Structure 1
């Protein structure tokens, strides 16, 4: 028998699940707004990291337990992964919360949500951060209707995609990057440096060790080729502390040594003076677009993963910046096209006042309007939908 749901003046119980740092930050902001909205009459339970812990969440387990790197690790850690899914789903149903909010990490959170819906259909479920149903495995959207009541989208084109794919209701709440524009865009002195010679060229090979392994050599050859051709530039490679060793090892064979800067603040400072960038595809392309930095993008994976992705991906571009602005203004060189020659040629164009560079700059100038959420921060819009879903559910019970 399912325990009775909280009612009257009893504090609302909200269960949240976030298993990666980015989701943890989203969850913390959501918790903060929900507490403000509910006047403190709320209890949080679930899974989260340090940011959510600071907002009062005692996580069921450390999210680091789900950090899996490499194929061999996936195989050896799979039993533990499945056990944590079972235990988390059991904890949700035992807690009988007023609502469950799953945040990103669909390989984990969606498996939990399906189990919760099967055991207790009365618990409403919100999915904060849409899986990439518009890029691959589109059938997931329709399948999500069985266990997700509302999707909170970070990208403005996603609600239309959910309607097209007959998925659950989906609302654009905004991307957290739109709240960080002052850290991405140059001040007066930084703009002067951005316009000065030699231009600052950023190299962004990835945020995971595997991505660095796939991209460092070809990125190094590309910038080395540029230098050999007489193109002048100042090279900066932003990275994070846990990747520093892999980056240092990767640049040993480069003909031109980049200035390596470490940490989020240093990365954003580099964005503010950058003229152009060579970047691995991913969220960083949206960061660069918001910062107004033209770029060349690339992506390489192993042969098996490439074989799968080629057959699964069904979009004209894999670059978030292109998808958001609605046209392929950013050149992308994927897999066999990711060569030093192609990358160097693309960089030469955007390091000068070329039509390719101007096209990107003009497209990025529209991005504020495209991603606008009015005067409401994403966390506020997300909290309002969580509470509206909660009230609707309580009214039906």
Structure 2
């Protein structure tokens, strides 16, 4: 055991930081791919969730502490957030990794990167600062791109339109594609058989978000929308794919609902639920991309703190909020934000999707999948190659 620990410590260390569930999944896939390409050449540590833990990463603290969305929603969490930032920086400096790979969660990861950059002189050798999942400067506050470019050594983006925002400021940036482009198609029959749902029953996927705050704001509206739908479609089954961290909350909140609700945490069964769904009602976020790739007609909704909404009205490019719409340059899924996010509006939009199916989504899905696989290569493979090259040679690559 001592010899194994000594050997692990002797290997170059890569510090991976993922602040939320989607980043945890990306981080785990990346670590797995680096291991595949380089066998046991590197060791890994950092901040992550269950997926990264399965790859041997012992998280410095639970990532559930960082699941906050919205400007004013963040305020009460600032003291704990700042404490965790400084703890992470201290841990990085003490462990002296060859690289820090941060994934999304900009409020946390960019502050860590900025402090590491300032403390580089305390390290024996330079720590490469690499970030995956670009800040959404194309949706709001584009001026952030210039500041971020002063901090990082390399940026890996998931979308093809992102690199120019950063390369113009001198930051080496590579479009690696999106891991969801590798998402397989589920099976409707598997979902129906597993959950004993007959073919005459309409299946609707409800996705009220992966953060407690999102669920608190959206689920009551989703429930009222469902009540309206039940008057028109009395035979409905609800599929509710979610993450483990909020599973208990959703089970408590949906107790006593009039129609059956299947809460799903298994990723494979989620895809089967999508395949079986006539329509989805979802919170804005990465899940909109999953739904487009799974060819599920969807209605997108979002609510934040009223003060955050007022600021967002002036700062956010609403045309860029829904990812499939941004990628295709047209509306694929309708969006209902804040005051427009009412049960009646959502009911009308869902009814239209059910009553008037089209082939538009099939074409859009195929186009998006091709768009998100540069040269037909999987994102984690391209990212792993770039990171290995950067760590071993000290060079940066841009595309």
Asked whether the two chains share a fold, i.e. TM above 0.5, the reply is yes
Q: What is the distance in 1 between the residues matched to 2:28 and 2:42?
A: 14
Q: Structure 1 unaligned runs (5+)?
A: 1-9
Residues 178 and 379 of structure 2 are in contact (CA less than 8 Å); yes or no, is this contact kept in structure 1? yes
Q: What is the distance in 2 between the residues matched to 1:66 and 1:333?
A: 26
Residues 194 and 272 of structure 1 are in contact (CA less than 8 Å); yes or no, is this contact kept in structure 2? no
Tell me by how many angstroms 1:383 deviates: 0.8
- Could you list the per-position Cα deviations for residues 278-312 of structure 1 after superposition, in whole angstroms to 9, with x for gaps in the alignment? 11111111111111111111112221121121121
Residues 138 and 320 of structure 2 are in contact (CA less than 8 Å); yes or no, is this contact kept in structure 1? no
What residue is the counterpart of 2:264 in the other structure? 262
- Could you list the per-position Cα deviations for residues 365-390 of structure 1 after superposition, in whole angstroms to 9, with x for gaps in the alignment? 32221222445322111111112222
TM-score, normalised via structure 2 length: 0.83
Query: In the superposition, relative to structure 1, how do residues 247 and 90 fare at CA in structure 2: closer, same or farther (>3 Å)?
Result: closer
Query: In the superposition, relative to structure 1, how do residues 18 and 289 fare at CA in structure 2: closer, same or farther (>3 Å)?
Result: same
What residue is the counterpart of 2:385 in the other structure? 384
Q: What is the distance in 2 between the residues matched to 1:229 and 1:336?
A: 24
What residue is the counterpart of 1:14 in the other structure? 14
Match of 1:349 among 349, 352, 357: 352
Tell me by how many angstroms 1:77 deviates: 5.0
Check if 1:23 corresponds to 2:17. Answer: no
What residue is the counterpart of 2:6 in the other structure? none
Match of 1:238 among 237, 241, 253: 241
Q: What is the distance in 2 between the residues matched to 1:240 and 1:365?
A: 27
Query: In the superposition, relative to structure 1, how do residues 261 and 312 fare at CA in structure 2: closer, same or farther (>3 Å)?
Result: same
Q: What is the distance in 1 between the residues matched to 2:285 and 2:238?
A: 21
Tell me by how many angstroms 1:342 deviates: 1.6
The higher relative CO (CA closer than 8 Å, separation ≥ 6) is in 2
- The more displaced of 167-176 and 316-325 is 167-176
Q: Structure 2 unaligned runs (5+)?
A: 1-9
Tell me by how many angstroms 1:100 deviates: 1.9
Residues 156 and 172 of structure 1 are in contact (CA less than 8 Å); yes or no, is this contact kept in structure 2? yes
What residue is the counterpart of 1:145 in the other structure? 149
Query: In the superposition, relative to structure 1, how do residues 114 and 278 fare at CA in structure 2: closer, same or farther (>3 Å)?
Result: same
SS at match of 2:359: helix
Residues 99 and 390 of structure 1 are in contact (CA less than 8 Å); yes or no, is this contact kept in structure 2? yes
Tell me by how many angstroms 1:329 deviates: 1.8
Check if 1:363 corresponds to 2:364. Answer: yes
Q: What is the distance in 2 between the residues matched to 1:227 and 1:37?
A: 52
CA RMSD of aligned residues (A): 3.3
Tell me by how many angstroms 1:276 deviates: 1.1
SS at match of 1:91: helix
What residue is the counterpart of 1:93 in the other structure? 93
SS at match of 1:15: strand
What residue is the counterpart of 1:120 in the other structure? 120
SS at match of 1:351: helix
SS at match of 2:206: strand
What residue is the counterpart of 1:393 in the other structure? 394
TM-score, normalised via structure 1 length: 0.83
Q: What is the distance in 2 between the residues matched to 1:243 and 1:16?
A: 24
Query: In the superposition, relative to structure 1, how do residues 351 and 231 fare at CA in structure 2: closer, same or farther (>3 Å)?
Result: farther
Residues 229 and 347 of structure 2 are in contact (CA less than 8 Å); yes or no, is this contact kept in structure 1? yes
Tell me by how many angstroms 1:216 deviates: 2.2
Check if 1:33 corresponds to 2:37. Answer: no
